[in-house]
Amino acid sequence: MLMRLGRWLRLLGLDVANPKESSDCELMRQARDESRTIITRDKRLFWACLGAGIKCVLIRSSKISDQLMEMSTMGVVLQLDPKRCTLCNSLLLEVASNSSRMWQCPACKKLYWQGGHWEKMERMLESIRSCKERDATQYS
Ligand SMILES: [Zn+2]
C-alpha cells in the first residue's frame, strides 16, 4: 500500500522491510518478531496494532510529498543517505568510480549514483523541508 513511501524512506537511510505477507496478522507478527514499526494507511490495522502493543504509524495522505511531510513531523530527517537498497533493503556497498560516488546492492546488484535524478530528489526534499518551516512559523 505504501511501497513508494517505503522506497523513499530507504533513500533516507532507514531500515524498511518489505512486508512478507499481506494479511494483517502476518504483518503484525513480522513487526513483533523484527521489532519494527508498521507504517500503514489502514485505520483498522492501526487500531489492531495499538491494541496488541505494536508500534504503528498511520499515514493520512495519499500524495508522496505529503506522506514524507507526515514522516518528518514524526522526527524522520529528510536528507538523502545512501545506505539501503530501495528495492530489497539490503545494506549498500560503496564501489570505486572515477566520477561521482557509486553504491551497489550486494543482493540484487542495483547500482546507485548521485546523478540528475539525485538532484531532483534533493529538490523535492528541500521543498518539503521549507514547507514545514513555513508551517512552523505560521503556528508559533
Ligand atoms: Zn537490492
Q: How remote is the CA of residue 111 from the centroid of ligand 1, in Å?
A: 9
Distance CA 87, CA 35 (A): 21
Question: Residue 71 contacts by C-beta under 8 Å, 6 or more apart in sequence?
Answer: 5, 9, 57, 59
Q: How confident is the model at residue 135 (pLDDT cuts 50, 70, 90)?
A: confident
Distance 17 CA to ligand 1 centre (A): 12
Cα–ligand 1 centroid distance for 94 (angstroms): 13
What's the confidence (pLDDT) of residue 140?
Answer: 54
Q: What is the mean pLDDT of the chain?
A: 92
Tell me which residues have their CB within 5 A of the ion that is ligand 1. Answer: 85, 87-88, 90, 105, 107-108
**What is the Å distance from ligand 1's center to 85 Cα?**
5
The yes-or-no verdict on residue 61 having pLDDT over 90 is yes
The confidence band for 138, taking pLDDT boundaries of 50, 70 and 90, is low
CA–centroid distance, 6 to ligand 1, in Å, is 13
pLDDT at residue 22 is higher than 90: no
| Reported pTM | 0.88
For CA atoms 18, 20, 21, 24, give the dihedral sign: negative
Residue 78: pLDDT band with limits 50, 70, 90: very high
Domain boundaries, the chain: 3-139
Three-class SS state of 47:
helix
Q: What is the pLDDT of residue 31?
A: 95
Q: Which of 4-13, 54-63, 125-134 has the lowest mean pLDDT?
A: 125-134
